[in-house]
Structure 1
Amino acid sequence: MFIRAYLRASTDEQNAGRARDSLERFVQDQNKAIACEYIENASGAASDRPELLRLLKDARKGDVLLVESIDRLSRLPVDDWNKLKAAIDAKGLRIVALDLPTSHQGLRDTKGDEFTSRMLSAINSMLVEMMAAIARKDYEQRRERQAQGIQKAKAAGKYQGRPVDEELHKRVKELLGAGMGIRATARHANCSTTTVLRIRDAAG
């Protein structure tokens, strides 16, 4: 069984690998091991996520797509989610999420009672759909509250935008100054390559 773990964080400042320990403990409890990791900083509402697309390209029938929760996989609107789910199904991937117990059967041998297996698969598919819808709704509500907060702060003359992470900027500049490449810098600074490029370009 080939287990592909997908780890995602929404912003460059967050640690996309934060859930690694939880995922590893989970598969170890199932007497399995993670074979490959795909880590990126990108919004779950974006359909163009390079690492997720790479995972789908690499995947083979019967592989497991392991995530901490369904919202790590998707906060997509319904049309984009349907396209992603179709791509996952076409590859024969089994989605396993730590917070969705019915999905855990995906880490177990498929031999046994076919009727029970199919029933559990159908129930799991329904719950995945439901959780994907909830994740999207949560995303939309948070965006709406954020926009309202910004408007209120602007009206009060208090809105200054997102603060700059001075320590991250300093670290990236030091790594680049030492001759390190973009990808290596991103890895050592624990941020995305997009952030590295933005800091580099801003420094002129």
Structure 2
Amino acid sequence: MKTILYVRVSTTDQTSAHQRKQAEGAGFKVDDVLADDGVSGVTTLLAERSQGKRLFDMLRRGDTLVVRWVDRLGRNYADVTETIREFMRRGVIVRTVINNMTFDGATTDPVQMAVRDALIGFMAATAQAQAEATKEAQKAGIAHAKDREEAYRGRKPSYSRAQLDAVRAQLAQGASVSAIARDTGLSRQTVYRIQEDPAEAEAALARWAA
């Protein structure tokens, strides 16, 4: 009977070595480690990962599968719950380092089975909810950063590089604002702003990389 540690590494602070150290520190004697690096637990099911597939081939009745927490198996509720139940049907014991949870198919008591299955569902749902919350927080952070960037950059110029050059050239030649507006297709207000502060007009284009 073997004890296999499965590791899913999705960020730089979740190294295989770190997760193995945690498991051994919790008292697990690990015989083998299977690790999937840089794999999303949301979009990639366990059976679709290179090392995740090996788990289904390697684990035998009486073996123990150890994971840091159920989110290492995945962050998809349906996939995680079905995976744990499939391993239990095969006689594999699933254990977590965090909270020291144990899931197996040994019990036949209906109440204990109900509690076990409810706990599996709760943990899997929590893993997916955390992933969705993180995604929403990232989206909000990106939107906030974009808003701050746009606030710094100011209002986007209503003129292009070619139009700015044309306005400046015609102003230098003494053309009227109305004539320049007509020739360039810009509003008179825009031409006036360029005339009053050509340096800022140039800077605005530079901020917007136009």
Q: Distance in 2 between matches of 1:7 and 1:51?
A: 9
Cα shift at 1:99: 2.1
Q: Distance in 2 between matches of 1:62 and 1:90?
A: 11
Cα shift at 1:147: 0.8
Kindly indicate whether structure 1 or structure 2 has the higher relative contact order, using CA contacts under 8 Å at least 6 residues apart.
1
User: In the alignment, what sits opposite 2:75?
Assistant: 75
User: In the alignment, what sits opposite 1:20?
Assistant: 20
Conservation of the 8 A alpha-carbon contact between 1:56 and 1:87 = no
1:44 paired to 2:36: no
Over 3 Å counting, the alpha-carbon distance change for 1:125 and 1:99 in structure 2 is farther
Query: Deviations for 1:26-55, whole angstroms, at most 9, x for unmatched residues?
Result: 235xxxx21111112222222122112111
Q: Distance in 1 between matches of 2:116 and 2:88?
A: 13
Task: Trace 1:1-204 onto structure 2 (pairs within 5 A).
Answer: 1-11=1-11, 14-28=14-28, 33-41=29-37, 42-45=39-42, 46-47=44-45, 48-76=48-76, 78-103=77-102, 122-157=114-149
- Secondary structure at 1:156's aligned position in 2? helix
Q: Which amino acid letter does the alignment assign opposite residue 116 of structure 2?
A: N
Query: Deviations for 1:141-169, whole angstroms, at most 9, x for unmatched residues?
Result: 110110111122123228xxxxxxxxxxx
- Secondary structure at 1:27's aligned position in 2? coil
Q: Which structure has the larger Rg over C-alpha atoms?
A: 2
- Secondary structure at 1:157's aligned position in 2? helix
Over 3 Å counting, the alpha-carbon distance change for 1:37 and 1:120 in structure 2 is farther
Over 3 Å counting, the alpha-carbon distance change for 1:13 and 1:138 in structure 2 is closer
Over 3 Å counting, the alpha-carbon distance change for 1:94 and 1:125 in structure 2 is farther
Conservation of the 8 A alpha-carbon contact between 1:9 and 1:40 = yes
- Secondary structure at 2:4's aligned position in 1? strand
Q: Distance in 1 between matches of 2:14 and 2:30?
A: 22
Q: Distance in 2 between matches of 1:125 and 1:22?
A: 26
Please give the TM-score of this superposition, normalised by the length of structure 1.
Answer: 0.60
Conservation of the 8 A alpha-carbon contact between 1:69 and 1:99 = yes
Q: Which amino acid letter does the alignment assign opposite residue 36 of structure 1?
A: D
Q: Distance in 2 between matches of 1:122 and 1:65?
A: 21
Could you tell me which runs of 5 or more consecutive residues in structure 1 were left unpaired when the two chains were aligned.
159-204
Q: Which amino acid letter does the alignment assign opposite residue 136 of structure 1?
A: Q
Q: Distance in 1 between matches of 2:19 and 2:133?
A: 24
Over 3 Å counting, the alpha-carbon distance change for 1:25 and 1:124 in structure 2 is farther
Q: CA RMSD in A?
A: 2.8
Please give the TM-score of this superposition, normalised by the length of structure 2.
Answer: 0.58
Cα shift at 1:79: 3.2
User: In the alignment, what sits opposite 1:193?
Assistant: none
Percent of aligned pairs with the same residue? 26
- Secondary structure at 1:92's aligned position in 2? coil
Over 3 Å counting, the alpha-carbon distance change for 1:154 and 1:22 in structure 2 is same
Conservation of the 8 A alpha-carbon contact between 2:88 and 2:94 = no
Number of aligned pairs? 145
